[in-house]
Structure formats: structure tokens, C-alpha cells
């Protein structure tokens, strides 16, 4: 089994005709198995048909969506007066479901309009199987209650963390939006993700500070990952 893995940059690889999309610096990921030729879309948003067309041009069939969190620039919905296409278009076109963390379910349903039956709920430690590939579900709350990262690890040396808005190369996700929790973000960055090796490659939800890098280099350059106790963290975040 070989991994199919593509990072798509919003406004360049898809959604180029959408002026708002072009400003957001979002990433969407296609992850799958090159033998079964199945893949999932991580954070389907902005121009879903273009994203699915890219997968299909590679000979891949989209069999599901994974949502890192409920924000409309990741799963679609209404954002600051703009209507963002998203997971509802994916489930409709591909006849598939959107996988979300169980705590994110009501938030995702509210912004996307998806029914309960359109979702598959997960907990930390679950695996999503795509052909022969097993994607590990890591619950990393803080940016939102059910914010999640996805680990793609195989025997051939692939080790990737798709991090949504939990961690960027520069900084981390905001904690002042509805459902945000600065103390949980501290625990996600300094406890939950602290167990990952320096060699794992970080693939963020936005291009803040770069497109991808090893966790080791991000630990050296991102001040929010420097050792800190919770009190210091609260001072740093102004809470
Ligand atoms: Fe977000």
C-alpha cells in the first residue's frame, strides 16, 4: 500500500475565482491509498467540485470527508456574510459522509446544515480506514471543542500530522472564537501533541509561516511550543 497525499492551496490549486477564498490561505488535503484508489478530503471547502475533480484526475475516488473543526473556511457555511461551499456539496456529489469529532457535531451541523446521518462521529484514538490506509484521530481541543488532528503513518516511512487550526508553522489557532478554550489549547500543544516525534511532518490548515515542516523545526521556531507552564501560557495569551 502506498499513500496518496496532496496538499492543495486555496486560491491557487482551487477556488481561484473566489476573492474571499484567495485571501484565506487555507489548505485542503487529499489522503488515500494508491492501490485501492480511494481517498478522503480533509476540510472540504470553498470549491468542492474543483477539489473532487483534482482527485478524480489523479484516478482517485473520493469516499469521505474529514473535518478538523466546524469553521466555515474548513467545512463550509456562512462566514461574515459570505456563503462558503463545503461538506454539504461533498456528501451530495460523492454520496459519502463527513467524519467529525463527537464534540464538534452540533457545531458542524449548525454551520453546514448537514443531518446527523451525514456525519460519522469519532473519539481520540479512532482510525478512519481508506483502502488499506488507517488515519489516526487525535482530539486536540482549544481552537474549538472538537478540533482534531489526523496522523497518517505507514511502514514506508510516511509520518504526517494534518493539524487543522490547532497548530501552524507560526503560531496556533485562535482561542477567542465561540467554543474556544485557551487552557485546552495549552494542553493540546504542550501535552497531547508533545508526545509526537520531532520527525513527524506538520501539515497545517493555513499557510501561516509556511506550508509544512518537521515538528522538530516547528518546536525550535514557534514560540508557542516553547516550554511553559499554564500560568505563563495564560499571560502569553492575554487571558
Ligand atoms: Fe478555524
pLDDT per residue as tens digits for the range 41-81: 999 999 999 999 999 999 999 999 999 999 999 999 987 78
From ligand 1's centre to the CA of 35, what distance in Å?
A: 33
Closest CA to 163 of 131, 134, 196: 196
Q: To 5 degrees, how large is the angle CA 219–CA 225–CA 228?
A: 135
Q: Quick check: 84 and 45 in contact, CB under 8 A?
A: yes
Closest CA to 161 of 126, 131, 204, 124: 204
From ligand 1's centre to the CA of 36, what distance in Å?
A: 32
Closest CA to 188 of 138, 136, 126: 138
pLDDT per residue as tens digits for the range 109-165: 999 999 999 999 999 999 999 999 999 999 999 999 999 999 999 988 899 999 999
What domains appear along the chain, each with residue ranges and CATH number? 3-237 (3.60.15.10)
From ligand 1's centre to the CA of 171, what distance in Å?
A: 13
Amino acid at each position: 500500500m502506498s499513500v496518496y497525499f496532496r496538499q492543495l492551496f486555496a486560491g491557487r490549486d482551487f477556488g481561484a475565482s473566489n476573492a474571499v477564498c484567495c485571501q484565506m490561505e487555507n489548505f485542503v488535503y487529499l489522503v488515500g491509498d494508491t492501490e485501492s484508489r480511494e481517498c478522503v478530503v480533509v476540510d472540504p471547502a470553498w470549491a468542492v467540485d474543483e477539489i473532487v475533480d483534482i482527485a478524480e484526475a489523479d484516478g482517485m475516488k473520493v469516499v469521505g470527508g474529514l473535518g478538523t473543526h466546524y469553521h466555515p473556511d474548513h467545512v463550509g457555511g456562512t462566514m461574515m456574510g459570505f456563503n462558503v461551499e463545503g461538506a454539504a456539496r461533498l456528501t451530495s456529489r460523492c454520496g459519502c459522509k463527513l467524519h467529525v469529532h463527537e464534540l464538534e457535531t452540533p457545531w458542524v451541523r449548525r454551520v453546514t446544515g448537514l443531518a446527523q446521518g451525514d456525519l460519522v462521529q469519532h473519539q481520540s484514538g479512532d482510525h478512519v480506514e481508506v483502502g488499506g490506509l488507517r488515519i489516526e484521530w487525535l482530539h486536540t481541543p482549544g481552537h474549538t471543542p472538537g478540533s482534531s488532528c489526523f496522523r497518517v503513518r505507514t511502514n514506508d516511512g510516511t509520518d504526517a500530522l494534518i493539524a487543522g487550526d490547532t497548530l501552524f508553522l507560526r503560531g496556533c489557532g485562535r482561542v477567542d472564537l465561540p467554543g474556544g478554550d485557551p487552557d485546552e489549547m495549552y494542553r493540546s500543544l504542550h501535552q497531547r501533541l508533545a508526545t509526537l516525534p520531532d520527525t513527524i511532518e506538520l501539515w497545517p490548515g493555513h499557510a501561516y509561516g509556511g506550508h509544512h515542516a518537521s515538528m522538530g523545526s516547528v518546536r525550535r521556531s514557534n514560540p508557542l511550543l516553547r516550554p511553559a507552564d499554564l500560568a505563563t501560557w495564560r499571560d502569553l495569551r492575554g487571558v
